[in-house]
Amino acid sequence: MLSRRLSCYGFSSVVAVVLVTCLAAPASAQQPAPPDPNPGNLTFTGSFDFLNTYMFRGIRQDDTKLIMWPAADLGLAVYSGDAGLKSMGLNVGSWNSLHTGAAGTDGPSGKLWYEGDFYATLGLGFGGGVSLGTTYTAYTSPNNMFSTVKEIAFKLGVDDSARLGKGALKPYALVAFEMDTAPGMGQADAGNKAGKYVELGVAPGWAGAAVSLAFPVKVGLSAGDYYELNGVDNRFGYFSAAGLATIPLGSTTSFGAWNLHGGVEFQKLGDTTAAINGGEDTKVVGSFGLGLSY
């Protein structure tokens, strides 16, 4: 049954917040930029997205009826300098998934709030566009469709825009470790062992005054027990290619910078993720939403 699968595999990430932060377009170059209403060390980012399907690292959560993703993030600039360490920042936030289908109001619980995630990230910036982020996330289910997942992740990225200009790829690598697990509980695949996840990707794009475009490509892999199926850990989880667009709603105001964003993502699934997806080895995800940065 679908509801049983969801109870075993449900949880997510902070994708919505990251997209809004990375893709927000600048004000038109032909107009003088207004004064920044928030010149301090605190930055607030929020978003509200609508989707047809919720996939997390290739693992299907729900593809029935309406899915909504409200998210909020508070960033603190801790340090800025000219030495080897260029910057240090701390982010805390909440990411949520609301469902009207099988994982929510039409499911066993009858409740809308399928998932509520809480995270904290320490980000370090170095010379040459190199960055390192360490994130702790607790993935919870307010409607009790899955057990709480606890994870620590490390992400190393390189912004090669200074060297490659419009041809920049912005490659990154992410490694995540599940913690505090038990057989069938606290894991992405509801397996017997805590999983280790690896993600490799690039995020080329183009930014203009009227619209910003991004074309992220990534692959999700198991570095150990992340995509377990019938006692076998399948290395390949999924491949993803997407097209994303962000349109600014005017220039920055005293209420922050607002934008509309949306996109389409294609996923090619591996053996474990295809089995969770009812045997289908491909998935198409469409989304659109409203973003705010202040």
Tell whether the model's pLDDT for residue 32 goes beyond 50. Answer: no
**Token representation of residue 109:** 């619980």
Q: What is the pLDDT of residues 61-96, one digit of tens each?
A: 999 999 999 999 999 999 999 989 999 999 999 999
Q: What is the pLDDT of residues 115-136, one digit of tens each?
A: 999 999 999 999 999 999 999 9
**Token representation of residue 136:** 């702790």
Which stretch of 29-43, 240-254, 265-279 has the lowest confidence by average pLDDT?
Answer: 29-43
Q: How far is it, in rounded angstroms, from Cα 242 to Cα 201?
A: 12
User: Could you give the residue ranges of the DSSP H alpha helices within 75-171?
Assistant: 161-164
Q: How far is it, in rounded angstroms, from Cα 109 to Cα 111?
A: 5
Whole-model pTM? 0.87
Q: Give residue 148's domain range.
A: 2-293
Tell whether the model's pLDDT for residue 158 goes beyond 70. Answer: yes
185 DSSP assignment: B
- Residue where the block lists tokens 């679908």: 2
What's 87's domain CATH number? 2.40.160.40
SS3 label, residue 2:
helix
pLDDT of residue 21: 37
pLDDT band at residue 31 under the 50/70/90 scheme: very low
Q: How far is it, in rounded angstroms, from Cα 267 to Cα 240?
A: 4
Q: What is the chain's mean pLDDT, rounded? A: 89
Q: How far is it, in rounded angstroms, from Cα 71 to Cα 53?
A: 17
**Token representation of residue 16:** 């919505």
Tell whether the model's pLDDT for residue 13 goes beyond 60. Answer: no
* Cβ-contact 25, 249 below 8 angstroms: no
**Token representation of residue 20:** 């809004």
Other C-beta atoms closer than 10 Å to the C-beta of 282 total 12
Structural domains counted in the chain: 1
* Overall average pLDDT of the 284-288 stretch: 98
Q: What is the pLDDT of residues 228-263, one digit of tens each?
A: 999 999 999 999 999 999 999 988 888 899 999 999
Tell whether the model's pLDDT for residue 7 goes beyond 90. Answer: no
Q: Which whole-number Å values give the CA distances from 186 to 47, 93, 134, in the listed order?
A: 27, 21, 20
Q: How far is it, in rounded angstroms, from Cα 39 to Cα 35?
A: 9
pLDDT of residue 209: 86
Closest CA to 18 of 269, 176, 216, 185: 216
Tell whether the model's pLDDT for residue 1 goes beyond 90. Answer: no
